[in-house]
Homo-oligomer: A and B are copies of this chain.
């Protein structure tokens, strides 16, 4: 029959695709995002054209690769966000989950967020197509949670989205900086960020001798 045959082929193709992604993952994590298609193909034990048959172009491969990691990270974040606890605890847990993830696998993180670093040669290949989606998806998910759970009055939809993207951006930038400089431990960073979100900036007093910020 045609259907079984096609599903069979489909399954085999999918398995192959997954194997190729694993190989690409290893190479990218080892050599950085500048890994060449030749190198990836070699790691997978095959040659370039096969990669192109499966993923179209380098952008397709990297997008597929990014999607895997992005999905995994988003799953963890959802879990932290949905835990049964007070709001502040949830916020801290979510921040901590994200930061723990990027701390544990900085290579993956760097690939997702700064896919151009390391010296790829990209012709007709838009790197921004990868990092943006992760931030965007995180922002949208958070916005949804905020809108669902919080009573924000009129304009809550737009407000929630602004906040979702804003908070994600805050987390991202602070995490990126922290990962580079390691100025404090994770717990302190989490606490500081949560404090910021809890309005400590507005509540702080002016320093003596000058107008407040």
How many chain A residues sit at the interface, stated as a range, is: 35 or more
A197-213 interface with B by 8 A CB criterion: 197-208, 210-213
Interface-side segment among A13-21, A46-54, A68-76, A187-195: A187-195
A168 at the interface (CB under 8 A from B): yes
Q: Are A166 and B162 interface neighbours, CB within 8 A? A: no
Q: Is the interface of A mostly helix, strand, loop or mixed?
A: helix
CB-defined contacts of A197 to chain B, threshold 8 Å: 196, 199, 201-202
Q: Are A188 and B126 within 8 A (Cβ)? A: no
> Given that A166-B174, A173-B135, A206-B151 are known contacts, is A119 also in contact with B128, CB under 8 Å in the complex?
no
| Residues of A near any B CB (own CB < 8 A) | 81, 84, 86-88, 90-91, 114-128, 132, 135-136, 139, 145-146, 148-152, 155, 158-159, 161-163, 165-174, 176-178, 183-184, 188-189, 192-193, 195-208, 210-213
| Interface CB pairs A-B, < 8 A, 22 | A81-B213, A115-B116, A116-B116, A116-B122, A135-B176, A149-B213, A150-B213, A151-B204, A151-B205, A158-B184, A158-B192, A162-B178, A162-B184, A162-B189, A165-B173, A166-B173, A166-B174, A169-B169, A170-B173, A172-B173, A173-B173, A199-B202
